[in-house]
Amino acid sequence: MSTILLVHGAWHSGDCWERVIPLLESAGHRVLAPSLTGYGEKAHLLGPEVGLDTHVDDVVGLIHEEDLAEVVLVGHSYAGLVISSAANEVPDRIAHLVYLDAMVPEDGETAVDVQPVTQKLIDLATESDGGWRVPPLPEQPAPFGLFGVTEPADVAWLRSMLSDQPVRCLQQPVRLNNADVNAIPRTHIHCVGAKPEGITRRPVPPTQPNGSPAQVWELPTGHDCMITMSAELSQLLVKLTL
């Protein structure tokens, strides 16, 4: 049995993994899918002081609280930043890092460095009342939909779990200054369906930081593959534990 810790991306909550969790559990794994501060059952904690460091503390705190070890740490989208800094804090507890259609940072980078279009969202937020809230991206016509989700019932369900993203999350830098984090194997899962204009993906270097060949898998769907291709995503995650 492996422990799989699923970390949701910007605007989402831990509920987005609802279709994936039972599939992983039925394969014999322990699965945790917390909502980060400001989302889901923690939405009342949303505020301008919430940042990337807050979310890293959420993940590291859960790992310590549950005394987790040999964790397969999965980060979707923005959470690629979160799992990177979290692994930097507790590399001895992480067995594998999975970047799920995620931002993949270097030490000291922010979300804007990894995904420059993020600056436009920050600019819009700072010009609004309060100056710290970044609202969820709007739904677009198919095939883009809402984060790649196009089925009306799924769109409604997804919209029900979305919250604003604090600007601070997109401005705080990632910490990857612990050499031990480089030993952790990585897998990149790319959603290769339609992408909105302005969204880019950095090429994955052919060699991982630990010296082994890069491992990149693809899912032919939009960004929120945990909703649109939950079975296929679960199969890939299980494959990592074999």
One-letter identity of residue 111: A
> Which pLDDT belongs to residue 57?
98
Question: What is the DSSP pairing of strand 94-100 with strand 133-134?
Answer: unpaired
Model confidence over 92-131: pLDDT tens digits? 999 999 999 999 999 999 999 999 999 999 998 988 778 9
| Cα–Cα distances in angstroms (integers) from residue 86 to residues 7, 60, 111, 180, 193, in the given order | 11, 6, 16, 12, 29
- Burial (CB < 10 A; 0-12, 13-18, 19+), residue 187, is buried
> Which pLDDT belongs to residue 229?
98
**For helices 79-89 and 52-65, what crossing angle results, to 10°?**
50
Model confidence over 122-144: pLDDT tens digits? 998 988 778 999 999 999 999 99
Q: Does the pLDDT at position 184 exceed 80?
A: yes
For the question of residue 128 being annotated catalytic, the response is no
> Element (H or E) spanning 95, and its range?
strand 94-100
- Exactly one of 2, 77, 85, 234 is catalytic; name it: 77
HSE-CB at 222 with a 13 A cutoff on CA atoms is: 21
CB 105, CB 114: distance < 8 Å: yes
Q: Does the pLDDT at position 49 exceed 80?
A: yes
Q: State the average pLDDT over residues 62-82.
A: 98
